[in-house]
Every structure is written in C-alpha cells, then in structure tokens.
Chain A
Amino acid sequence: MSGDFVRRLPRGQSGFRNHRGEFTWFNLDPWLLLILLSIVSFGLVVLHSASDGNWVVVEAQLVRLGLGFGLMVLIAQIPPYFLLRTAPFLYGLGLILLLLIYPFGTEVNGSRRWLRVPGVLNFQPSELMKLFLPMVLAWYFHERHLPPGFRPVVVSCLLLLLPAGLIIVQPDLGTGLMIATSGFLVLILAGLPWRYMLRGGALLLILAPALWFLIKDYQRGRILTMFDPERDPLGAGWNIIQSKIAIGSGGFSGKGLFNGTQSHLDFLPESSTDFIIAVLAEELGFLGVVSLLVLYGLFILRGLMMSLNAQDTFGRLLCGSITFTFSVYVFVNIGMVSGILPVVGVPLPLVSYGGTALLTLFAGFGLMMSIHSHRRITLL
C-alpha cells in the first residue's frame, strides 16, 4: 500500500481543488442529469397512460422520483474516499440484514424478502446489496494488482456468491441473479482473465442440466413458456402472448397515446410495472421504443465516459459496473417483455412504476456523480 504514489499526495484540501473544468452543480453531472430527466419525463407520460390516466399513480411515482433525486443529490455530496473506506462495513451490514431476514423477515407470497421495522421503515435488504456488493468488490480490487490473479478471483467470487446465495434462497432468484451479475460485471471490468471466464462458462454449460432439475417448477415453466407461449395460452403463456400482441399491434408509429387497447382493456398484465414497455410499444410504436432506447443509450454512454474519467480503480469499477448493470436491466426487461428472455421480475429502469428499486437506482447514480464530481486535477 505504501507503493501507491497517488496515495502519498495530500488528500483533497489545500493546493488541490475539485475538478471544475466543466459546469457542476451540487456535485451533479449536468449531462447525466439531463438524460435522466428526459427518460423520467418520457416514463411518466407512458405511466400516465399505462395507469389508465390515473393521476394518483403518476403523483405517487413523482413523489418517489423526488425522493430518489434527493437521495442522489445527498449521495453525490459524499467524497469517494469515504465511500471507499466504508464499503467493507456497508457490505457487512448488508449481509447481517440479509441474515436477519431469517428470524425477523416478513413472509409475502411464500418468500421472505422484507425486513419490517414497525412504524419506521420497511425494506428489502437485497436492494441495499445491489449497491453494496459492487462497492465492496470495487474496494477489494482497488487494493489489488490488476488483472487479478487466482486468489483474488476466488475471494471476490465468494464475496459475490454469499449475498447472491442468501437472496436466491429467500427465494428471489431474479434479484439474486441480477446482484450476482452486477458483481460479476465488476470482476470483468477489473480484468478477470478471459480464460477464467471461458472455464466458468464451460462449467456452467456442464452444470446446466443439473440446474434444470434444481430450479423450481414455475421457473422451468417460465423458460418453457418463453420458447412456446402457446402451450398454456390462458395461464403461464398469457402475459407473454398479450405483451407480444401489444408490441406487435403498435406497428411503426403506434395506436396513439392512451389508445392502446391491450393495456387499457387489461389484456396486458402488469402494464404499469414490469410490462410497461409493451404499453409504450403499443401506443407509440417502433418509434417510441427506439426513442427510449436511444435515451438509455445516451445515459449509458455518459455513464461510461464518467467511469473512464474516474481517477482510481474504485471509482472506475463502481461507476462502470453501475452503468453496465443498468444496461443489463434494460436488456433483460425489454427482452423478457418481447419474448426473447424468460419472464423474471425485472422492472424497466426509471420507467416502471415501483418503489424501492427506483430509490436504489438513484442511489447508484448518486455514487456515480460523487465519483465524477470529486475528481482532482491531475498533476500530469
């Protein structure tokens, strides 16, 4: 650690100032903010239609967005080194909360995902893990030589699998896999050697048949349904059939906002949450979908730029993994609604109606902005 000459520089105060080469405001990145606001506004319009013109839903979403913005601004003020130092403790806290679920968790629909502190708050520890895991991995690799050798890879895999496993057995396979993915993205960005990845991939292929028998019936059903929704058109296949009809019937320019029959007549299930992209596709057509994807693309682009500008490994990895995880969410959600991925409960980021996931997203953006806005002028 003593070999790090950057570390030997005095931290952050006299003689060095925050990077002010471009406009910032409360440590917020204006470009990311602009794109974020565009996506959110677009999303609110679609949500208004998807909720059948119900302003209550839109207002509730606005309140959440407000909270999210507040959280983002708050987190953006935290200096990255503080984040770096607290990362392992946060990760430990997250693990403890995940474990606390077993004695104290509230059971909903046969799975324990919620911790309830009566009258105070009510949350899913897995949401916290969505950020704490990338943070702790970024912290871990920050201290190590990159690309990582065998030992760090094993350790980081353990760090990754521990929370993911706890979440999967709740059971919440979707979230568990998404968290594992976000952690895995850190590993890849940190330079996980390709040969490890190839071996891991091969191992997974070999294990796939075993996994097939390990997963639950309804999960198998979802995979089968993806390949052939018509095998149970009124049951398991209903959602995906109806969402494909909704998307397809939108055509190039859509049926017009508020004119989607699939969503307004309730043929499309979950139309304001996980399946909201189908509403967009039905009412605004191909143009609408491509517009949203372009906005997402710009957001990802800006996120990557921010990560490239980050000045240390921790910042790069955290920023990059949040950005790529965001892309994965977008892909998985739209892929699932359009029938090329099995149905998993992944909301469309920033557009789907929903509580805690939205806050987590904004917290992540807060981290990115903190890293970006607390850069120091380099000596070079």
Chain B
Amino acid sequence: MPLAPLAIAAYTLTNGLGAGIAPSLSALRQMRPGLRPCDLPDVPLDTWVGSVEGLDGEPLVGDLAPFDCRNHRLAALALDQDGFRARVAEAVRRYGAGRIGVFLGTSTSGLRHTEACYRERYARGAPELGAELRFAYTHTMFSPAAFCRRLLDLHGPAVAISTACSSSAKVFAAAQRHIACGLCDAAVVGGVDTLCASTIFGFHSLGLVSTRPCTPWGLGRDGLSIGEGGAFVLLERRDTEDGRLALLGCGESSDAHHISSPHPEGAGAALAMSAALASAGIEAGDIDYINLHGTGTPANDLAEDLAVTQIFGPGVCASATKGWTGHALGAAGATEAVLCLLCLEGGLVPGTLNTDRPDPTLAVRVRQVSQAGAPRRMLSNSFGFGGSNCSLVLGWQ
C-alpha cells in the first residue's frame, strides 16, 4: 500500500573515500578509487577493503566515553559532517525531541571492540574478557541506536535493525511506517558498520572475498571487497512540496531459499523491487537509474541481473558503486541511498568503478563511467544473508 513520501531534510555519509559527502561525490565524478589492501593486523588475508581513516586517535569522551569503540567513533564522525547535527537540532525545535525516532541498521554493531577484548584475553592468558568490553554500550546490537540517541539528544522511538546486508535499507521502511502510524514526525535513519575480523574471515570461509578490488558485474568477478562506513538521513513528515528530495517508496521481501546464497532466479529480489515501485505508486519506466546491490560475487550479480531484467528489462540505466566504497554490509543500504541522493542533487549518473570488462552473460549493461545527467528517480537495491531483500525509491518530488 502506498505511504506518504517523506522529505529528505539532511543526509551525510563517511566511508573509505573520506568524511562527508564531498569526497564521495568527487570520487564518483572523477572515477577515483577508495579501496586499499587490508592492513588489519589480525587479518592477514590478501584482500582489499574500504577503511575509514582517523578513528584510532579520536576516543569518545565525557558522557559518551562508555560508548567508545570504533563503530561509535565512526558514527560520531559521520554525524559531524555536512551540518547534519544542525539539521537534526532544527527538527528538534520543529517537532520536539520526543517526536524524532532513531532507526539504525548494523550487522555487527561494536563487534570490532569485542574482538579486541578476545585478542587481549588470549594474549594475556586471562580467564575473562574483562570489564573493558562494556557490552551494553559497545557490543549489543542496539548500541549504535542508543549512541545516536544520546549524541543527538533524541527521545522518540528507536530500534536497531539487523538483517545482514539489507539492514540499513530496511530502516527507511521502518521509519516510514512509524511516521505513518503517528509514533513520530521525523526520524534519523542510517547504518554504521566497522571492518571486523569475524566478517572478513567469515566471508572468506564462504569463498566470497576477492583478492582484487571488487569488480561488480565484471567478467571473471570473484568476490567482495568489504568496507566500513556510516551513512545517515533525516526524514521528515512534511506536506509534500515540489522540488524537494524525498523517500518515495520502500519494498521488502524474503528469498525463502538459502541462508547465505541468493535465490538463483532472484525471485525475492524482484519482489522487493516491484513492492518498492508499488509503494511509490510508480511504474518501472519511471525509474531513471538503479543502484545495484552489485557485490561482485558471481552468484549475487547473476541473481540480481535476472531480477532487474524481469522488472525493468535489460535496457535500464544501472551501476554498482561498491568498487568505490567496498561492501559496507549493515551500512551498505544507507550508504547507497545517500550516494543516490547526492547524485540526484549533483546531477550525476555513477558508473561502476573497477569493472573494465562487464560480464557479457549478464543482460543489464551497467554504466561503466560516471556521467553528468538529470535523473529524477532512483532505485537502490540491498540484499542480504537470510534472504532479506529491500529496495528503496528516492527522487525529486
């Protein structure tokens, strides 16, 4: 059922390309890479990652100190960019702090900090992880949402959604529903996830990590590059006005197929895309660009290609941006939603970095090189383990 579009009052993101939207936009425009060889000391694997600089020396202090861990430092750095916090403060004045929700996606929350506690425990031969873990503030899945509520002094409904790689796309849908039901008037939505040994080793154990920078949709593609990042959007219930960026629709589905492999024909993915179009009250032909989930694994891209072709036909304008950011897992949905927003505002159709030779067996011909354009509506795909799918429609009102 269509829900009222929500105004995009502010957005920001931070990832391996840099802090704030400017480095991401210029990297997309100039086809400038952002991945680098993995240098995590406890992950001696030959792989490339999108890693955020400048977090190691910036601990959280004051009443935020208990939350100190890499994931929350990353969230704080991201929230500090692009005047985002000032726009949230304006929304607080407009609606009241109790009327602004926080809906955050994450796959691993503060697990990187937990890993450090395990490493320290075994290095010292200690029997326990120790109080430094601060489980309730760092490890627990809800902690990024609790941290953002505290940092932004918000008092509305809040939740962490953790559905693997669709997590921070689904928060848009949850916020839209909560606002439609009158539980809040505005919402900070987003995602934040940090590079972890568990996830890199885990994807490696499944044979899904590339030794090169990932090549989504590429001939001979052989897996992911994993990234970290934080991306946030301020959604507001406002009377719809023309000439404003908006969340137009959301579609969610499940594959009901396998816990870590996509449905081979992309059946669940196709359902999510058609549900997003229905939710926005538009047709497939109204979409000017698709930001593919496009992870660069052989099976994921093949299944998504079949799904996109089924709904949009092979001629649709599409690309995948994970060659720039890496796959930010629980932060990927919000990261790519924000990349869509800055391309809508910046008049850009992004290409597909690293993919010099697209796979000729895939029907959708991805844009390889970023080009200026005037897209009006974009669809962003996010699909995750457990067969969790979410598609968002973003565009100008």
Q: Do A and B bind each other?
A: no
Q: Residues of A at under 8 Å CB distance from B?
A: none
Q: Residues of B at under 8 Å CB distance from A?
A: none
